Every structure is written in structure tokens, then in C-alpha cells.
Amino acid sequence: MVSRMFRMETEVDKDRRDLLRIRLRDTNTAASPVLRALRGTPDERERPLHVWVLDEAGDLAGGLVGHTWASWLHVTYLWVDERHRGASLGSRLLTEAERIA
């Protein structure tokens, strides 16, 4: 049996993050015929998606930030100003993002 020593680190490291993302993508692509079929097509790339709600004064009342990949929607941030909650703005933001995706 081989004994291995590992060291954990917690600093933010963008190069390692990018390497991890590449390795994860490669591993997932190797395991999935759907992902393999997407390789080299326009749908392979993530596309940023931003949807904003502005009030009468043009101030930010809410927003959604995410991205699309293939036909999937990934929401990173969804926020509605407290003064406008209960007016279905969150639902409208999601509906518009889903329509775009």
C-alpha cells in the first residue's frame, strides 16, 4: 500500500481554479456522450446573461446575473430590492432569463 502525504491550502489561486475547471470539464466530457457531442460547437461555450429591473427613476430594483450553457441556465445572483419585494419581480427576472436561455 502506498502512503501519500497531502497539503491543503486555502488561498485564492486563479490559475489553480482554471486548471481545476479544465480538468473537471475533460473528465465530464470523457464520461458523457452529450458533452462530447457539444465539443467544438457554439453551444459548448458559456454565455453571460444579465437581466435588470429598473424603477421609474432608473435605479436598480432587481437583477439576475448568470450564464447559459447549451440550453441550461445557471443563476449566480438573483436580488430584488426590499422595497419592491412581493411584486413578482423575482419571478419575472427568472422567466425572462429562462426565455433567453
Q: Tens digit of pLDDT per residue, the chain (101 long)?
A: 666 888 889 999 999 999 999 999 899 999 999 888 888 887 778 899 999 999 999 999 999 999 998 888 999 999 999 999 999 999 999 999 999 98
pTM of the model: 0.68
* Residue range of the domain that includes 71: 46-101
CATH number at residue 62: 3.40.630.30
**64: helix, strand or coil:** strand
Q: Are residues 51 and 97 in the same domain?
A: yes
Q: Are residues 62 and 30 in the same domain?
A: no
Q: Are residues 54 and 101 in the same domain?
A: yes
Q: Are residues 61 and 98 in the same domain?
A: yes
The total number of structural domains that make up the chain: 2
Q: Are residues 79 and 52 in the same domain?
A: yes
Beta sheet of 60-69, edge-to-edge order = 47-54, 60-69, 72-80
